[in-house]
Amino acid sequence: MPSGLTPTTRPLRLLLLSHAFNSLTQRLFVELRARGHEVSVELDIADGVTEEAVAMFAPDVVIAPFLKRRIPATVWQRVPCLVVHPGVVGDRGPAALDRAILRGDTHWGVTVLQAVDDFDAGPVWASVNFPMRAAPKGSLYRQEVTEAATQAVLRALQRIADGKQPQDPGPTRWWPAVPPAERAIDWAQDDSATVLRKIRSADGHPGLQTRLFGQDCRVFDAHPVTTRPAPAAFADFRPGQAMARRGPALLCRTVDGAVWIGHVRPEGPTPQPASLLPLKLPATEVFRVQAAALPELPVPLHRASAAGQDDWDELRYEESGPQGARVGQLHFAFHNGAMSTRQCERLRDALRLARGRDTQVLVLLGGEDFFSNGIHLNAIEAAAAHDGDSAADASWRNIEAMNDVVLEILTMDDRLTVAALRGNAGAGGVFLALAADEVWAHPGVVLNPHYRNMGNLHGSEYWTYVLPRRAGAGRAQAIVQGRLPLGARQAAELGLVDACFGSVGEGFLREVRSRAGELALHNASSRVRAKLARRAADEAHRPLAAYRADELAQMHRNFYGFDPSYHVARYHFVHKLAHAWTPRHLAVHR
């Protein structure tokens, strides 16, 4: 039994000690609070600060979901500290997932260990394994690892409460960080599968180093090519060369085919042109001039997922069900859920296409990892480096385009709309979902329905209409001012989510399709009549244009006014500057 704990089922005082309040930390925050525990957060800034937080909060247990440094001995010797390691029992080191992907492991896991002097070397409180998926590291982290870690932490706390002891991990192996040379792409040798595996093992951090158009960069967001260009077209290019473009991505030749590379972060001392910022951006924007000279290889928006037709693009529309009870499904898998002006315009056009189809229900599916995270802060930051443009102007264009998307959904008056959240949503991305008639999510989804963390941004996306109409005016204010993440179940209690079911992955999508089919078959026409009546009454009470105008007047002040908080916060966010303190609304002990 760790010192200071007696067997108990009482609510515990739990301190989440984390490098950042990232998706996993947020998921644990909502799950633990939902179980009645008292939870506070301290970002890992310095040993002295951690010691102070522990002294102030006097936690029963410290939980470390995501740390880059050791927990000070003065803390783990006094309080039991549970460290979440994204690796199986016996695995140790900072690149656990990277290496599992590189090795091509078919199964992986998460282990909750008690902190001791050595990294990942303590006794084991719980572990949960899962089958691996062919996906980027970040996606595995947000889905499989987060699910397994949540289960493992809950199990570990239960074992502590039951007075059990942690177990010896048995033989362990330390794996160091992956040196760049170990996973560098050898374009002359590596086949497409190898190139994909290497890129995915480093995506989103640190990104795989390579060169494109002679520029040092890190690449992300790689996708296989299923519809290949004619082999003759390949022959003219060397492996590693870009051959075509689509949306944000470049089609890069490999020895046996090609891969799409969607996002790039330029690096090195002398980027060309000098206006290139070290930010993760669409590949076609980083290499704007070179990409413009490449042929575009479009793919129809409306395409099935059957082999050969499901060639990658950010957007895809498909339909299912019999005539009269037909369901349209719109996927918009924007990288990291960030939606630039270009992406908003594409989505708006796709919604218009979907509207022209004979369906009774339209399901908005977002992406697998994120439904949406609102306007594209990296693209906005990058715009400031272009002559004649500014971050304020780019923010303005982006929010207008985002609002046009939301308006398209709000005014879809001839069918039911469903936002089905397969992944998390933040800021404007949440209100985009709330514009739909129904919002469905699985219990692992975390929502951040507020803007103020981004330099006190007021926000738009018609949130002043869609949030109070679901949650009521009082609760709406509490939600946006509270600035806390909400689990899907909690969001359902507050009226933001209509149905919470299934679990992360394909199972949720299957159930969404089946429920949408039922909706189209049984309820669609009467529900559409009811929504038309409500929309007309709402419009008579206050037009949508008035909500938009008022929100945008506030946003104008955020973008162009004398208070630069939004611009400062965005700069910190996109350049990932280290936190200097823990925000008060998270560190309740302070």
Q: Would you tell me which residues interact with ligand COA (CB under 6 A)?
A: 22-23, 138, 204, 280, 336-338, 373-378, 424, 426-428, 448, 451, 453-454, 457
Beta carbon nearer to ligand COA, 125 or 463: 463
Beta carbon nearer to ligand COA, 451 or 465: 451
Beta carbon nearer to ligand COA, 452 or 531: 452
Least separation in angstroms between CB 348 and ligand COA: 16
Structure tokens that stand for 330 in this block: 């719109």
Give me the helix-helix angle, 473-482 and 463-471, nearest 10°: 120
Least separation in angstroms between CB 464 and ligand COA: 14
Least separation in angstroms between CB 483 and ligand COA: 10
Beta carbon nearer to ligand COA, 127 or 460: 460
Beta carbon nearer to ligand COA, 336 or 341: 336
Nearest to 86 by CA among 17, 144, 167: 144
Collect all residues with Cβ–Cβ distance below 8 Å to 181 and sequence separation of at least 6: none
Least separation in angstroms between CB 234 and ligand COA: 30
Least separation in angstroms between CB 119 and ligand COA: 23
Using CA atoms, how far apart are residues 372 and 250, in angstroms rounded to an integer? 23
Beta carbon nearer to ligand COA, 430 or 492: 430
Nearest to 504 by CA among 488, 515, 493, 518: 488
Nearest to 495 by CA among 525, 535, 466: 466
For residue 414, count other CB atoms closer than 10 A to its CB: 11
Structure tokens that stand for 172 in this block: 């362990």
Exposure pattern of 112-141 as b/e (b: 16+ CB <10 Å)? bbbbbeebbebebbbbbebebeebbbbbbb
Least separation in angstroms between CB 451 and ligand COA: 5
Least separation in angstroms between CB 43 and ligand COA: 13
Beta carbon nearer to ligand COA, 87 or 136: 136
Structure tokens that stand for 507 in this block: 């199972």
Which helix H or strand E contains 243, and what residues bound it? strand 242-246
Rounded to 5 degrees, φ, ψ at 39 are -120, 130
Residue pointed to by tokens 């492996």? 239
By DSSP bridging, strand 81-85 and strand 107-114 are antiparallel
Asked if the peptide bond before residue 300 counts as cis, ω within 30 degrees of 0, the response is no
Q: How many helices (H) and strands (E) does the chain have?
A: 22, 24
Beta carbon nearer to ligand COA, 200 or 513: 200
Beta carbon nearer to ligand COA, 412 or 427: 427
Least separation in angstroms between CB 344 and ligand COA: 11
Least separation in angstroms between CB 452 and ligand COA: 9
Beta carbon nearer to ligand COA, 138 or 266: 138
CB 459 within 8 A of CB 481: no
Using CA atoms, how far apart are residues 392 and 385, in angstroms rounded to an integer? 12
Least separation in angstroms between CB 485 and ligand COA: 7
Using CA atoms, how far apart are residues 408 and 576, in angstroms rounded to an integer? 33
User: In a 10 Å sphere around its CB, with 0-12 CB exposed, 13-18 middle and 19+ buried, how is residue 474 labelled?
Assistant: exposed
Using CA atoms, how far apart are residues 446 and 427, in angstroms rounded to an integer? 12
Least separation in angstroms between CB 448 and ligand COA: 4
Asked if the peptide bond before residue 273 counts as cis, ω within 30 degrees of 0, the response is yes
Beta carbon nearer to ligand COA, 71 or 427: 427
